[in-house]
Amino acid sequence: MADAARDAILPHFRLPALVAANKEEGGFDPVTEGDRAAERAMRAVLAEHRPQDGIFGEEYGQSEGTSGLTWVLDPIDGTRGFISGTPTWGVLIALSDSTGPIFGIVDQPYIKERFVGGFGEAYVNGPHGRRDLQCRSDSTLSDAILFTTFPEVGSAQEGAAFKAVSDKVKLTRYGMDCYAYALVATGQVDLVIEACLNAYDIQGPMAVVQAAGGIVTDWQGGPAHDGGRVIAAANARVHAEALAILKQY
């Protein structure tokens, strides 16, 4: 599925004539033919190999299955980055049961880097070859690197909560979309804090981070697989320290 999505997307990337339609009235939520083509390609693979499974995709919605398993697909997470030409967007694939994701992929087609987590494995295959994934186990909030996608995070209150955490960390960076979660899994980054996520935004990255030893919850410490306010942390200590601040908001 990830290979099929790569083949469908790359002909559209950095194409001067690429057209981005807007899905959000009163705002800007772009979608391109690259998004749609990638999801169609992944659905075609599933129709051939896993017709009994359900599918929940960003562009073509939900179809029920009979197996109790659902494939959760975001064909291009970070379409704003995609239409800007940055290589920080990715293809997100998750396999989920009633408890949440049990397997996930974050794939960056342009730099040919694929992060995989689940079924006892956590690895990245990319420019440096195949390597195991392992979150940082010894980081604390004061020496943490923190990411989020949008500087405003969400509402004014959510932005204030994020700033309160940001004031305590070593470094804060913005705009990485799903790639930030992959960096948590590699041991490069310690925290990702976001709001207003959908299930297809988080389930693939969530599976990868958890397989690499990290923790992904909502801002109250509960399940995060349905989206909303999400914190991904490299280890239990940095998660607890950041969560204690977020809970105040």
Residues at the annotated binding site for Mg(2+)?
Answer: 58, 74, 76-77, 201
Take residue 67 and report the two structure tokens written for it. 């197996």
- Hey, is 189 helix, strand or coil? coil
The Cα 70–Cα 52 span in angstroms is: 9
CA Rg value for the chain = 17
Distances (CA, A) of 31 to 9, 18, 115, 150: 12, 10, 24, 18
Q: Which residues are annotated as a binding site?
A: 58, 74, 76-77, 201
Distances (CA, A) of 183 to 59, 88, 113, 205: 26, 11, 12, 10
- For the CA atoms of 86, 185, 223, 203, what is the dihedral angle to 10 degrees? 50
38-63: buried (b, 16+ CB within 10 Å) or exposed (e) per residue? Answer: bbbbbbeebeeebeebbbbbbbeeee
Q: Say how many C-beta atoms besides its own lie within 10 A of residue 24's C-beta.
A: 9
The Cα 154–Cα 159 span in angstroms is: 6
